Amino acid sequence: MVTGFLVSRAGVAEAQVTGKEQDKMKTPFVDRSLVLPEMWVTGELDASFTHLDVGFGGAFNSGWIDIGGALGVLDDLEVEATLISLATEDGVGATPLALFDPIDGADWGMTRLGATFRFLADDVVEMGGRFRFLIDNNATIGFNGGLPVLLHAGGVVRLDTGLGFVGRVPTQGADPSFGLVDVNSNPMGPEAGVPLRLAIQAIDELWLGVNTGFGVLDVSDDDTIFMPLGASIGGSIPIDPLLLDITGAFNFPLFVHPTGRDTGERVVSEIWQVGLAAKAHFGLPK
């Protein structure tokens, strides 16, 4: 049954293109490229909920809302921006710049401006360079760089991986720091600096994903090594001229802490997140 499914999906993929040849947004998620096609626009709404169990019946909870978008400027160049970012309610926030800083009521979240340039593209492998400028509600400035890598396999599977890092420059007295982390917007939190995000296309309009990876929140402290664990499900709805994506995700952002802890404390299930993302893609006239 599994073999028949893979053969069927691979047969459909023969009529599809990825990588360099893609000039419009494909409905199957696994066939999409590393950057948006030229003159395509994406509007995005991300909502996240983070829960931290502190024991004895106590817990911190927080919400996060981002509204932003991206534009395919050229065939290999995409720019992105977060226009509105809000951290809500009493609790703690989890971002690549500040892990679990207190939030008192509603506050601004984290502004992001960035660009991705794809320098290698074919039907199997895509690679690029990415840079983002970050600034949060504590006026901490961040520089997020990365080398994203995308692998396609037979119109059935895609693997997003690569290397990401963040340099932090606090403006309120703390010391600068450097982490092997990236930005995850669904749900908001520190992404592993070496991510492994596997997606399988069930049908053209539905995909399933799992994610893990390896990250270090602060490279000067080996007790901050972590491995996340999460799962996601996404659906695509083509409504001409739009393509809509709805994605739900559940994540343990710091699931494994392999160093500096007793064996029984190396799995951290007290911190979990739920995310929901909605994206609208549409092409502009060239």
CA–CA distance, 245 with 28 (Å, rounded to integer): 10
What pLDDT is stored for residue 17 in this prediction? 45
> Hunting for tokens 């692998």 — which residue is that?
151
- Mean of the pLDDT values across residues 74-81? 96
> Hunting for tokens 């626009």 — which residue is that?
41
Report percent pLDDT > 70 for the chain. 84
CA–CA distance, 25 with 42 (Å, rounded to integer): 10
This model's pTM is above 0.75: yes
What pLDDT is stored for residue 203 in this prediction? 95
pLDDT tens profile 211-223: 999 999 999 988 8
What pLDDT is stored for residue 146 in this prediction? 96
CA distances from 71 to 13, 42, 84, 172, 174 (A): 26, 6, 17, 34, 35
- Mean of the pLDDT values across residues 78-105? 74
* 233, pLDDT greater than 80: yes
- Tell me the pLDDT band of 60, cut-offs 50, 70 and 90: confident
| Residues near 39 by beta carbon (within 8 Å), at least 6 away in sequence | 71, 72, 283, 284, 285, 286
240/68: higher pLDDT: 68
What pLDDT is stored for residue 10 in this prediction? 46
* 189, pLDDT greater than 70: yes
Average pLDDT taken over every residue of the chain: 86
- Tell me the pLDDT band of 201, cut-offs 50, 70 and 90: very high
* 166, pLDDT greater than 50: yes
> Hunting for tokens 């679990």 — which residue is that?
100
Cβ(12)–Cβ(228) under 8 Å? no
- Mean of the pLDDT values across residues 97-118? 78
CA–CA distance, 190 with 184 (Å, rounded to integer): 6
Report percent pLDDT > 90 for the chain. 59
Q: Report helix, strand or coil for 20.
A: helix
* 38, pLDDT greater than 70: yes
What pLDDT is stored for residue 139 in this prediction? 82
What's the helix, strand, coil split of the chain in %, to 5?
Answer: 10, 65, 25
What pLDDT is stored for residue 172 in this prediction? 79
